[in-house]
Amino acid sequence: MKTQIEKNIKQLLNEMWKPGDLALAWKKASLPGHRIPAFITQKEEIQDIIYDSFCDLSLAKYVNSFNRKEILPPTFKGKIHIVCKPCDAKSVMQAFADEQISEEMINLIVVACDGIIDLTKIEKECEKAIESYQEEDYVIVCKDIDGNEHRFDKREYWLRKCADTRNCDFPFYYGYYFVGNEKEYKKRIKHYRSNWRTLPQDTMSPKELRNMIHQELQRCIRCNACRNICPACFCSDQCIFDKPKENVNLLDIDTSTENTILYHMIRFHHVAPNCTGCGECERACPRNIPLHIFYEYFNRLMEEEFGYQPGKTNDERQKLLSYNLGEDLV
């Protein structure tokens, strides 16, 4: 199944390829289990593409950088083919809605994702450096450096976004290519959104919630990995936390608990109208702060209050930036 998807991606790209195009997909890195972004500018490089359960990076992040022409090669004059999991496709969709990139530039290829493995969880379990990973139907087999073999049930080692929050639902959009069986995929994810699993916050008293926030967020080292990996964060180098040109010194790189909580609180609120719940913040965090559940909490509030899911369509205005006349909440 996996190899079939990979084959189909390559075939599709080969068919669509025109000189001057750019394709964005995953490729193997030198470390076992690591998949890194591949910026493909030559047709021959398409064969390096890989797709499996280890492709955890969201390539949607780079859409914003294309707009600033930072990483476009000089030869580029055509379209950008971007390979996405459905959760990442929503981030691309939100970039369209936020007018971060023109739709004509992007050719969206969505793959039928089957859940992505959390590498750090596996590494922690093995307690030894891992030499190789192998993927079988429902099992991940890893060999550690001493030659021991470990077998893991894939479904127990999914990223949190795949196991718990499951934002796999698909954007309403006309112009994408789907790799895999679309009907079957939609049937599979149909129940996900309607059967939300409760978040830890849902059952907590305000005091417990406060304690949890303190306990988790005080580990933050303000490295800004969560901000910079976030596809919804497109201010790039002009972020208020960076002391930009106007010398607005809102928040120093200060790691007292009050300040880290303030930093994250600002981010939770600021990103809420365009956070699609892709979970990249949590994956990127070097301190293993479960950021995804915090953002998800705000996401659900957004949906309850406004009936609005970021990334659902390519043209809806952000709800906190717009209003309708006669609206109750205004």
Partner 1 sequence: MRKRLKIDQFKPFLQELQKQATLIAPVKTETNEREFMVVQDNTNVALEGFNPLRSPKEFIFPQMEKMFEYHIQKDGKATIKESIQKEPQIILGVRPCDLHAISYMQEFYSSTHEDPYILEKLDSTVIIGWACQDPMNTCFCTSVGDSPVDTKGADIMMAKTDQFYLIEVLTAKGKKVFEAVESLLDESLAEDDEIYPMIRRNTESKIREKVDLLSVKGRIGSVYSSSFWKTYSDTCIACGSCTFNCPTCTCFDTSDSLDTCQDGCRYRTWDTCQNYAFTLHASGHNPRATRLHRLRQRVMHKFHYSVEQLGLFSCTGCGRCTRSCPVRIDMVSIIKDIKEAVDHGEK
Residues that bind partner 1 (CB under 8 A): 29-32, 34-37, 39, 57, 61-62, 70-71, 124, 127-131, 145, 221-225, 227-229, 236-237, 242-245, 249, 252-256, 280, 283-284, 286-288
Least distance CB 111 / partner 1 (angstroms) = 19
Least distance CB 31 / partner 1 (angstroms) = 6
Least distance CB 115 / partner 1 (angstroms) = 20
Least distance CB 169 / partner 1 (angstroms) = 25
Q: Which is nearer to partner 1, 117 or 284 (CB)?
A: 284
Question: How many CA atoms, within 13 angstroms, populate the side-chain half-sphere of residue 255?
Answer: 7
Q: Which is nearer to partner 1, 169 or 280 (CB)?
A: 280
Least distance CB 137 / partner 1 (angstroms) = 26
Q: Which is nearer to partner 1, 190 or 210 (CB)?
A: 210
Least distance CB 124 / partner 1 (angstroms) = 7
Q: Which is nearer to partner 1, 68 or 188 (CB)?
A: 68
Q: Which is nearer to partner 1, 39 or 306 (CB)?
A: 39
Two structure tokens written together for 326: 């006669």
Least distance CB 175 / partner 1 (angstroms) = 26
Least distance CB 322 / partner 1 (angstroms) = 29
Two structure tokens written together for 283: 């994956």
Q: Which is nearer to partner 1, 171 or 279 (CB)?
A: 279
3-state SS track over the chain: CHHHHHHHHHHHHHHHCCCCCEEEEEEECCCCCCEEEEEECCHHHHHHECCCCCCCCCCCHHHHHHHCCCCCCCCCCCCEEEEECHHHHHHHHHHHHCCCCCHHHEEEEEECCCCCECHHHHHHHHCCCEEEEEECCCEEEEEECCCCEEEEEHHHCECHHHHHHCCCCCCCCCCEEEECCHHHHHHHHHHHHHCCCCCHHHHCCHHHHHHHHHHHHCCCCCCCHHHHHCCCCCCHHHCHHHCCCCCCCCCCCCCCHHHHHHHHHHHHHHHHHHCCCCCHHHHHCCCCCCHHHHHHHHHHHHHHHHCCCCCCCCCCCCHHHCCCCCCCCC
Least distance CB 304 / partner 1 (angstroms) = 30
Contacts of 232 (CB under 8 A, 6+ apart): 91, 94, 271, 274, 275, 276, 310
Q: Which is nearer to partner 1, 136 or 254 (CB)?
A: 254
What single-letter amino acid sits at 315? D
Strand partners, 238: none
Beta strands 106-111 and 22-28, pairing class? unpaired
Q: Which is nearer to partner 1, 193 or 287 (CB)?
A: 287
Strand partners, 110: 84, 178
Q: Which is nearer to partner 1, 175 or 286 (CB)?
A: 286
